[in-house]
Amino acid sequence: MVSKFKEALNSGKFVVTGEIGPPKGTNIEKMVHHIDILKDIVDGINVTDNQSSVMRFPSVGTCLLIKDHGGEPILQMTCRDRNRLALQAELLFANTRGIGNVLCLTGDAVPVGDHKEAKSVFDLDSVQLLETIRIMESGKDLGGNDLNGAVEYCAGAIVTPEADPIEPQLLKFEKKISAGAEFFQTQAIYDLDNFARFMEYARKFPTKILAGIVLLTSANAARYMTNNVPGVVVPQYLIDEMASAPKEERVKKGIEIAGRMIARIKKEGMCDGVHIMAIGKEEVVPDILAAAGL
């Protein structure tokens, strides 16, 4: 069955996805509230997988909640915590529960997270995970054995348009497409002129690109991202713009900036849509969409 998200990608409309970062603990009240906010206003909701190598409520569990609430989940799977048996088993399970979209990632390194002494797995990498999904769609597993019932996924990956150096990333981007990536959600972008140049290159390939929009919440957060998050560069004029806002209006300013960027991406037809990451402030996603005129 073709997923609703895949239908949206193929419809030619400007696609919007959101993102949920599950909580550390069993109190899922706030997350469910965010799911309810997002489910009817976006085409898909990503669920992060122990993001930043911090142990949390699982991605697949959250995807089931999204299904229960009538939303369209995008299961993020990293290769950090599970070997090829565990990854394939989860792909089998998720598909039987109506989860039809997967985002394949390498996963952050264990030492950046909150279980620094853990063993990292990386039995597969993101390209091999994409390839694995295509093999499982053909009715086989990675061991070459027959599956009693194949999977069917809309599989995607990520790309970092502002990576430095960019060339090795682009080679990997092309490998991901060859391995069957139907869509890409990019790392956060802020300089749309740079992004337009990236899209001149990326447009040549048969895949859909959703630009990553991360809500700015303060000038300090913007500076922190520039200095600490690989491949994220917030231009000085945006940091200044955030700094110009009084404390109580910072989030409002971030919403305005995100809305403005999305509106321009859509107006200029830069790419196929946007992936909005509000990082725990999902309640403002409707405001971002309103600011973007969507």
Q: Nearer to other proteins by C-beta: 35 or 222?
A: 222
Minimum distance of other proteins from residue 7's CB (angstroms)? 28
Least distance between other proteins and beta carbon 90 (Å): 16
Peptide bond into 206 cis (omega under 30): no
Location of structure tokens 């959250």: 62
Report which DSSP code applies to 147.
P
Sign, CA torsion 135/137/141/146 = negative
Kindly tell me which of 122 and 205 has the beta carbon lying closer to other proteins: 122
Residue 192 CB, nearest approach to other proteins (Å): 20
Output 65 or 127, the one with its CB closest to other proteins.
127
Residues 95, 153: contact at Cβ < 8 Å? yes
CA distance 219 to 64: 36
Q: How far is the CB of 4 from other proteins (least distance, A)?
A: 27
Q: Which residue's CB is nearer to other proteins, number 64 or number 213?
A: 213
> Which CB, 3 or 187, lies closer to other proteins?
187
Find the shortest distance in angstroms from Cβ 10 to other proteins: 26
State the residues that interact with other proteins by CB under 8 A.
80, 84, 105-109, 111-112, 120, 122-128, 131-132, 142, 158, 160, 163-165, 167-169, 171-172, 174-175, 178-179, 187, 230-231
Q: What is the 3-state secondary structure (H, E, C) of 107-141?
A: CCCHHHCCCCCCCCCCCCCHHHHHHHHHHHHCCEC
The count of other CB atoms within 10 Å of the CB of residue 41 is 16
Q: Within 13 Å and on the Cβ side, how many CA atoms surround 106?
A: 12
